[in-house]
């Protein structure tokens, strides 16, 4: 690897400004047609790269990492989550992993708040009714939803995004509750007037709206399983803008179909882009195509972080956003 121009392979199209800067700084190879790489193509890429820039849809599994040999030094992921990279395999092969934290907080919190509003007020159903041509005009009993002012919001995962959601929700008159691995600082609790629940089960049973904002890890896989989903109140709503794997989608679909709780707003899915067909058929669910972080500003900020991480490594220093620190 030439110290200041590492060979960088990018798996998907990135904003033009980011790709242009990568071409200026690195020996960059871009995916111009934006076609997702197959596993064979990913293996070929890691064998030919000093740095791989994957996205959340690229599965960098142990077999792919083992094929890299000694050349690959950095997996500079374009995204906050790193559940698509096998961290143990990367560590075993002394490959550093970086991500792009912090820059998507406000965008994802905006989308979460949009779903918190959209589901109880039946916005997607109303939009479909207008487009269908079957709307006959206003009436006192048409499209009745639920007020969110004064309701209890339970946030699962009070990290950066969870706190940003809480700040927005307070402005809409929601009472803030949360469950987290660790209790947040008392100053933050005081600012948000937030109630901490050590028991997720106890919190779920008492909330009017539940927002999933924790990362996907082995510990959070199916965190909201059928048993926990059944704890929710019959008139409660679930919103997920985190990762689909945190919720048992089959159980969610079954319970929503049975009317076990009132509805859901989902921006992520367990096997995306595949979605349970029965979930697609439900009217009490708002479904979005994983667009919580999809702003121009956010994507550019992500790319800038990727570039900084690569450039820092190429200059012989430790990247600022390293997830896995190894000797390199």
The distance of Cα 15 from the centroid of its chain, to the nearest Å, equals 19
Residue in 122, 168, 228, 243 annotated catalytic: 243
Catalytic, 84? Answer no
Lookup: tokens for 283: 């009217």
Residue in 84, 272, 304, 322 annotated catalytic: 272
Catalytic, 24? Answer no
Catalytic, 216? Answer no
Q: How many Cβ atoms from other residues are within 10 Å of residue 317's Cβ?
A: 9
- From 32, 37, 33, 74, select the one nearest 55 (Cα to Cα): 37
The distance of Cα 223 from the centroid of its chain, to the nearest Å, equals 15
Residue in 121, 290, 304, 322 annotated catalytic: 290
Which sequence positions are flagged as catalytic? 243, 272, 290
């Amino acid at each position: 690897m030439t110290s200041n121009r590492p060979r960088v392979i990018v798996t998907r199209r990135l904003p033009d400004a980011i790709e242009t800067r990568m071409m200026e700084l690195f020996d960059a190879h871009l995916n111009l047609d934006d076609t997702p790489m197959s596993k064979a193509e990913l293996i070929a890429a890691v064998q030919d790269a000093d740095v791989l820039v994957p996205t959340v849809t690229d599965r960098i599994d142990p077999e792919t990492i083992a094929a890299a040999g000694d050349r690959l030094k950095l997996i500079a992921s374009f995204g906050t989550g790193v559940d698509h990279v096998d961290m143990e395999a990367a560590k075993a092969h002394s490959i550093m992993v970086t991500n792009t934290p912090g820059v998507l907080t406000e965008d994802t919190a905006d989308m979460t708040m949009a779903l918190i509003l959209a589901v109880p007020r039946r916005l997607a159903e109303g939009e479909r009714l207008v487009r269908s041509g079957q709307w006959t005009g206003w009436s006192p009993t048409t499209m009745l939803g639920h007020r969110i002012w004064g309701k209890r919001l339970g946030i699962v995962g009070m990290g950066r995004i969870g706190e940003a959601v809480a700040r927005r929700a307070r402005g809409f008159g929601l009472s803030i509750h949360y469950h987290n691995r660790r209790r947040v600082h008392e100053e933050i609790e005081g600012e948000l007037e937030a109630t901490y629940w050590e028991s997720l089960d106890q919190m779920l049973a008492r909330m009017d709206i539940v927002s999933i904002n924790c990362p996907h890890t082995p510990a959070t896989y199916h965190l909201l399983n059928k048993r926990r989903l059944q704890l929710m109140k019959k008139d409660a709503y679930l919103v997920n803008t985190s990762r689909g794997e945190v919720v048992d989608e089959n159980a969610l679909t079954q319970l929503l179909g049975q009317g076990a709780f009132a509805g859901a707003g989902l921006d992520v899915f367990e096997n995306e882009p595949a979605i349970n067909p029965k979930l697609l058929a439900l009217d009490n669910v708002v479904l979005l195509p994983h667009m919580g972080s999809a702003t121009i500003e956010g994507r550019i900020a992500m790319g800038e972080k990727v570039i900084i991480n690569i450039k820092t490594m190429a200059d012989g220093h430790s990247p600022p956003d390293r997830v896995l620190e190894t000797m390199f």
